[in-house]
Amino acid sequence: MFFKKKTTVQKLRERPEWYVRELPEEIFVPALDGHRPDDMTVALEDATLDDLAFAIVGIEAQVAKARRGLSGLRELYEQARKRGAAGTNTVAEVFFGDEFEEVSK
C-alpha cells in the first residue's frame, strides 16, 4: 500500500491547539503600490510572513465591504417593514411608489 506524504498545510490543519482547520492551500496577495504591480496567488507553504500580512489586509478589506453591504441591506429591509411592506413587495414599490408612507425612526 502506498501512502501519500501529507502537505505542510495538511499538517498545520491537524494542530488541535490552533484554529487553523480552514487554512487555504493558496493565499491571494494583492498588488502593492510602488512595490509589486500585480496581484499574486501563493501556495501557503511558500508564503512569506509579509505575504500572510498582505493577504490578511486584503481579506479584512473584503470583510469590511461585505459588512457595509450587509448593514445597508438590513437597514433597507427594516425601513421597508416599518412602512408596512410585505415580502412580495419590491424595493421600488416600497420606497418610490405611492402605496407606502415614510415612517420616522
Beta-bridge mates of residue 42: 27
pLDDT at 1: 61
The backbone torsions φ and ψ at residue 57, rounded to the nearest 5 degrees and listed phi first, read -60, -45
Tens-binned pLDDT, residue by residue, of the chain (105 aa): 677 898 999 999 999 888 888 899 999 999 887 777 899 999 999 999 999 999 999 999 999 999 999 999 999 999 999 999 999 999 999 999 988 888 766
- Residues present in the chain in total: 105
- Amino acid in position 65: K
Which helix (H) or strand (E) element contains residue 41? Answer: strand 40-43
pLDDT at 83: 95
Beta-bridge mates of residue 27: 42
- Report yes or no on whether pTM surpasses 0.85: no
For the chain, the C-alpha Rg in angstroms (whole number) is 23
Domain boundaries along the sequence of the chain:
27-96
